[in-house]
Amino acid sequence: MKVAVIGAGIVGVSTAYELTRQGHTVTVFERHGSVGEETSFANAGVVAPGYVTPWAAPGMPLKVLRHLLGRHAPVRLGWPSGAELSWMASWLKACRSITYFSNRERMQRLAFYSREQLHATAARERIEFDRSQGYMVLLRTAKDLALAQNNLQFLRDAGVAHKLLDAEQALALEPALNPETALHAAIHLPQDEVGNCRQYALLLKQKAEDMGVRFAFNTKLLPLSRSHPTELQVKGTDAVLAFEAVVVCAGMGSLPLLRPLGVHLPMVAVHGYSVTAAIRNPLDAPRSGLMDERYKVSISRLGQRIRVAGSAELGGSAQKHNPAALETLYKVLSDWFPGGAKISDNLQIWKGARPMLPDGPPILGASGVPGVWLNLGHGSSGWALASGSAKVLSDLVSDRPPEIDISGLGLDRLRA
C-alpha cells in the first residue's frame, strides 16, 4: 500500500520504518530540513516505563497551585489561550482516581512494549547511539520518600526491577554525586536507560531510506481535504499527491491539517526546557540518568555530554524562554554535579513544545475518516512511547492485530 507519513519526529520516523518493514511504500513529509527538529530535538532522553504516567493525577491540581508560587517551580503557567483553558478543564476531570489509574495502565502497557521494540530495532539494524544504562530517582528528604510511596508500590505490583537505596548506596552507583547536597534516599531502576533521541532518529532515518522510504523535507502541506482525505497538496504548488493511507504524526502541526476533516483534538503544547553541555571531567559526571524528584528535573549522560531537562510550561511560545525555568535547570545540575559540565561555553539551550492531551495517553489508530490514521499526543513521553506506538500503528494500517492490548488508546476514548 502507498502510505504518506506526515511528520519526521521520532514518532514519524519510527512509524515510517515499521510501515516499510510490513511491505508498504512510504513517503515522509516534513516541514523542516531534517528529522527531529522540534519536540524530539533535545528532550531528556529518558526511557523509564515505570515512570511514564499521566500528568492528570489525583492531587495534581493542588500541587500545581503550590508550585506556581515557588521560585524553582516544575510547573509554570503563562497567559493561557481559550483552547488551553478548555484543555485545563478537561485535565481537571481526568485527575479523578479512576480515570488516572486507567490511563496510567494504558501508558505503561505501551511504554514497556515500546522499550522492547526500541531494543529489538536497535539490535536488528545495528544502530549505535549515545545511551546509558540505569535510571535513579533522587529523594532529597524523608518527605520526598513519603511522597514516592505510591510509585514504589506500583513498581512492586508491576514487577518492575528496582531497589530503594540509602544515600551511601546511591553514591556507590553514582560516585560523582555531590556529597554536600542532602540526599535521603534514591530509587534505582537498573533496566531503564537514557539515550539520545534525535541521534537515534537520524540513524533510523538512514536505515529507513536504505529500505526505500522517501523523505520530503522542507515541505509544507495544505490541510487535508474532506472530499479527498488521502490526497496531499504541497503548499505553493498545484500538484496533488495520491496515497492509499495517510498517517498524521506531526505533533502540534497536526491540528490544522486535520481540522477540515472534522477531527478536533484537545491537544495543547506543554513546553519543556533542556540545557546540554560537554563533560568537563568524566570523574565528576553522571554515569547514567537521574531524576531530581523534588524539582522534576532529569540529568542524563549522553556520550560525552550532559543534558539537564525539565519544566512543564503551559501557555507561551517555544521562541520565548523563561529565565526562571533555565535557572532551575542550572541549580539542579550544580546541586548534584557541580564540576561535571562545561557550562561557560558552547551550551545547547532548547525549548520544545510537547503535544499533550488532557488525560495523558496518546491517540493511536483510525481517525474516523477513511484512510487517515493518527499517531499523536505523546506529550513528554514521546521518546519512551515512539517505537511501540509505531509498531501498533503499522499493524493497524496493515490490518494485523497489534501485539498488545490497545484499548483506551483510540480516538473513541476522547468521545466517551
178-207 residue pLDDT tens: 999 999 999 999 999 999 999 999 999 999
Helix intervals (H) in 232-340:
254-258, 323-336
Give per-residue pLDDT as tens, 105-144.
Answer: 999 999 999 999 999 999 999 999 999 999 999 999 999 9
Check residues 319 and 177 and name the one with the higher pLDDT: 177
Q: What is the pLDDT of residue 69?
A: 65
Going by the DSSP 8-state scheme, the letter that residue 10 receives in this structure is H
Check residues 47 and 312 and name the one with the higher pLDDT: 47
CATH code: domain of residue 122: 3.50.50.60
Give per-residue pLDDT as tens, 282-294.
Answer: 999 999 999 999 9
The answer to whether 103 and 409 have CB atoms below 8 angstroms apart is no
71 pLDDT higher than 80:
no
Q: What is the pLDDT of residue 37?
A: 95
416 pLDDT higher than 70:
no
**For residues 397-403, average pLDDT:** 97
Q: What is the pLDDT of residue 176?
A: 97
Contacts of 76 (CB under 8 A, 6+ apart): 67, 68, 311, 312, 313, 314, 322, 324, 325
Identify the weakest region by mean pLDDT among 70-79, 151-160, 187-196, 342-351: 70-79
Identify the weakest region by mean pLDDT among 33-42, 70-79, 270-279: 70-79
Q: Across the strands, what pairs with 374? A: 248, 365
State how many domains the chain has: 1
Check residues 339 and 120 and name the one with the higher pLDDT: 120
Amino acid in position 276: T
405 pLDDT higher than 90:
yes
**For residues 341-355, average pLDDT:** 90
73 pLDDT higher than 80:
no
223 pLDDT higher than 70:
yes
**Percentage of the chain lying above the pLDDT 70 cut:** 99
Strand order in the sheet with 245-248: 214-216, 25-29, 2-6, 245-248, 372-376, 363-366
pTM of the model: 0.95
Rounded mean pLDDT of the chain? 94
Rg of the chain (C-alpha set): 21
**For residues 254-266, average pLDDT:** 96
74 pLDDT higher than 90:
no
Q: What is the pLDDT of residue 319?
A: 81
Give per-residue pLDDT as tens, 358-389.
Answer: 999 999 999 999 999 999 999 999 999 999 99
Q: How far is Cα 377 from Cα 362, in angstroms, rounded to an integer?
A: 4
Model confidence band, residue 316 (pLDDT cutoffs 50, 70, 90): confident
DSSP 280-315: S-GGGS-SSEEEETTTTEEEEEETTEEEEEEEEEES
Contacts of 120 (CB under 8 A, 6+ apart): none
Which residue is it, cell 539542579? 332
Q: Which domain holds residue 376?
A: 2-415
Q: How many CB atoms lie within 10 A of CB 329?
A: 23
Which residue is it, cell 526491577? 161
Give per-residue pLDDT as tens, 224-236.
Answer: 999 999 999 999 9
Give per-residue pLDDT as tens, 170-186.
Answer: 999 999 999 999 999 99
